[in-house]
Structure 1
């Protein structure tokens, strides 16, 4: 028998224990995917940590200034494969659904995806109601109409068949049907709404995407245009995410070339923004309760894997999918890329391209309509993918210094030989590659001027971007609340730079 021997701790041991405690409380600032602008030199790290520990022991902790120390991963269940739409009736039966609200739009209602869905439900004897008035790029008014319809029928499950607009609208129908007494602004993202957490259980929702872009089948985010504020906003919470996403490549074969392009550009920006967002451990404040941890948390090691692979696939397959409507391999791979990017940004978040896109598409002063889109006559439309991509070169030129290695890795994924590129040129190299990539797709605006904006619109665009705090807090290099005037100046410069590329 060996007895335990206790040894009095040495000064060195106590110092090591102190360092470990500090490192646990304040995550190290240089993991493999960190932001170099926050790095300490290794030789100075021990003294820095000890200094930080002393300061922590003598200074009262302000919860609002504590940085995050954990991240969470949440995603819908995903089924992927050609022809799997026909299984949806069995899925609803397995969920115990008795009355299903099927949500689509007027165009998708005529397509085979909808036919397969209805046949599946009828084969299993499941009652259903169809709502086919979803608006492409939803507005507050169209969302409220859909919610009223849903409340009147009170289904026990939801089934979305369509693009991101349909899936997002269905999420909101589910939320407010399950919270019939809630005010509409209760759950809308602050500062435009109250941003309350969702505490009630929602009903099963199955999403069948017919476009390869938004990744909405994987996320807890729903976006719409708040007309009264002339800016887009939405609701973001893990509870909104679909129970199951059925990703059937056969359903994307009916996409027009213009929709392939715009949807693919959304995938591109989802991947780039989540890959370059601030690291999760730099986000503040740390939640006092895990229910308050936001869906968009900052770059993290798991989201990184999904985002970078989505970027590589988009670089390879989007040009092919846009060029050749019969390239089914490219279409299938873009649907997969959209789903991968959805898992990535659904947990890491997006930042400047998306924040700036919301006033772009919401304001649309020239009533621009993207060529190749089927919309009601006279209805202007800047597709979401176009509105995010049009600022991308400017955005990543601006964010480049925050983490040159990440921006160079993104450029390499897009086909750039980075072997001779200096780190200080990372943002410019990525921006130039993005400008060429977007232009080479054909039919895309090459700056805000092509959408009808000029310098006189910049101030209003800035004002429409400022409320997007949920994503702006993830933007590297942006001043944020620490210097609001400088943040406005930075946004103003970004919009001016994005007028043309």
Structure 2
């Protein structure tokens, strides 16, 4: 077991583990899905999508490729955008009944996460909260491998195609939670930038800002050498903290986003920008799948779970909704102002890679302000709401939002500083308005 001891006798890890799905990236690669599923030995495919994507050419392409490979395909197109425990259960019932021996997901993170959950419970049946992260669920270990799953993202954002994480709203708690296990990581990812050519600008903005925070949070997470050594090497968590592998993906994702995100949002015909943002999403997904995210994401689950009336442009339906990437980025400037003190040099370097002017900056004094201000500039450039007040919250909600974020211990323990209810409340309050 790789570990060392500090003077107090606590045992810390000295090694990190690299996990990743097989990734195929490039325009037109979605047409490979049939051949790749057949090569995995799949004969009966549960094809997951949502009602909007199911009407698009991208879904028809995947369906046609699977059938051309001689596979029996059973579509499930009722995935709920921003999934709930109820929508997960419906998908699990479907998967259990189809007896599929493989899964293909075509859609955004909601679709990919739903397919992960359906695959898990259909393969290893259990009580619904058994696999859910503690302290909300029991956090029971997944007992073995799942069926093959090929994830085909149609948004440049969540990175779900390369992570072992499935997120959903637990309706009775009005909060997001999830399941995290290496077994959930898709077997393969087919990342086809053609899939994003028709995305509305607001969707590209929200998903791209999720990518940005994935990269920033992975880069600034508690270093893996400051994480307690696991009882056994095979129990090392996926959220193992910042490490040299995750740093590579985080830095390149930040560079790409600083150069291409605003272009990708502003002009759907800018194929270069949309392709680069898609690649950044995959890189950041690989990074946070091996390092983990922290404060902005933990806070976002409360923001999305407690929304009362807000519904954004460019998203289907009329029900209250704060898209995941929006819920994350609205907290990010306030959160990184707080975390900067833990490693000012690293926070300032992140700001520089994103494109901020750091000339003459003194890291210890300026890092938090420079990174926070640059994030606000990016938010304004892609027309995000002005902090949490822009989606219907006020300072009076800060403590209740903190109540909703505090159970996200898997994320909060990955932050580079100790997080308690008071810190969360203060950070939510600071996130209410930025300009």
Q: TM-score of the superposition, structure 1-length normalised?
A: 0.85
1:307 to 240, 243, 250: 250
Alignment partner of 1:236 is 2:180: yes
Q: Secondary structure at the match of 1:335?
A: helix
Alignment partner of 1:398 is 2:341: no
Partners of 2:3 and 2:13 within 8 A in 1 = no
Q: Write the distance in 2 (CA, Å) between the matches of 1:107 and 1:25.
A: 49
Alignment partner of 1:493 is 2:421: no
Q: Give structure 2 stretches of 5+ with no counterpart.
A: none
Aligned to 1:179: 124
Mapping of residues 190-269 of structure 1, within 5 Å? 190-269=134-213
Partners of 2:238 and 2:292 within 8 A in 1 = yes
Q: Secondary structure at the match of 1:184?
A: coil
Give the Å deviation of 1:113.
Answer: 1.2
Q: Secondary structure at the match of 1:207?
A: strand
Partners of 1:76 and 1:244 within 8 A in 2 = yes
Q: Give structure 1 stretches of 5+ with no counterpart.
A: 1-23, 28-48, 57-64, 481-486
Give the Å deviation of 1:417.
Answer: 2.4
Alignment partner of 1:434 is 2:372: no
Partners of 1:408 and 1:426 within 8 A in 2 = yes
Q: Write the distance in 2 (CA, Å) between the matches of 1:211 and 1:184.
A: 28
Aligned residues: 432
Q: Write the distance in 2 (CA, Å) between the matches of 1:222 and 1:319.
A: 28
Give the Å deviation of 1:25.
Answer: 4.4
Aligned to 2:217: 273
Partners of 1:207 and 1:245 within 8 A in 2 = yes
Q: Write the distance in 2 (CA, Å) between the matches of 1:230 and 1:283.
A: 30
- 1:150-178 per-residue CA deviation (whole Å, 9 max, x = no partner) reads 10111000000000000000000000000
1:295 to 232, 238, 243: 238
Q: Write the distance in 1 (CA, Å) between the matches of 2:392 and 2:326.
A: 13
Aligned to 1:30: none
Q: Write the distance in 2 (CA, Å) between the matches of 1:124 and 1:338.
A: 29
Aligned to 2:23: 78
Aligned to 2:286: 343
Alignment partner of 1:97 is 2:42: yes
Give the Å deviation of 1:300.
Answer: 0.3
Aligned to 2:11: 66
Give the Å deviation of 1:99.
Answer: 0.6
Q: Secondary structure at the match of 1:206?
A: strand
- 1:243-300 per-residue CA deviation (whole Å, 9 max, x = no partner) reads 100001111112111100000000000000000001011112x211223211111000
Q: Write the distance in 2 (CA, Å) between the matches of 1:179 and 1:398.
A: 41
Aligned to 1:41: none
- 1:398-441 per-residue CA deviation (whole Å, 9 max, x = no partner) reads 11111011111111012122130012211111101111111111
- 1:36-59 per-residue CA deviation (whole Å, 9 max, x = no partner) reads xxxxxxxxxxxxx8xx4xx75xxx
Q: Which region of structure 1 is more displaced relative to structure 2, 286-295 or 121-130?
A: 286-295
Q: Write the distance in 1 (CA, Å) between the matches of 2:261 and 2:99.
A: 40
Aligned to 1:148: 93
Partners of 2:3 and 2:11 within 8 A in 1 = no
2:70 to 95, 109, 125: 125
Q: Secondary structure at the match of 2:162?
A: coil
Aligned to 1:456: 396
Q: Write the distance in 1 (CA, Å) between the matches of 2:182 and 2:314.
A: 34
Partners of 2:45 and 2:72 within 8 A in 1 = yes
Q: Write the distance in 2 (CA, Å) between the matches of 1:475 and 1:81.
A: 34
Partners of 2:255 and 2:354 within 8 A in 1 = yes
Q: Which region of structure 1 is more displaced relative to structure 2, 115-124 or 264-273?
A: 115-124
Give the Å deviation of 1:305.
Answer: 0.5
Q: Write the distance in 1 (CA, Å) between the matches of 2:63 and 2:49.
A: 12
Q: Write the distance in 1 (CA, Å) between the matches of 2:152 and 2:217.
A: 25
Which structure would you say has the larger Rg?
Answer: 1
Partners of 1:197 and 1:291 within 8 A in 2 = no
Alignment partner of 1:370 is 2:312: yes
Q: Write the distance in 2 (CA, Å) between the matches of 1:291 and 1:314.
A: 34
Mapping of residues 15-26 of structure 1, within 5 Å? 25-26=3-4
Aligned to 1:473: 413
Partners of 1:197 and 1:292 within 8 A in 2 = no
| Change in CA separation of 1:198 and 1:291 when aligned onto 2, cut-off 3 Å | farther
Q: Write the distance in 2 (CA, Å) between the matches of 1:80 and 1:414.
A: 23
RMSD of aligned alpha carbons: 1.2
1:355 to 290, 298, 305: 298
Q: Secondary structure at the match of 2:140?
A: coil
Aligned to 1:425: 366
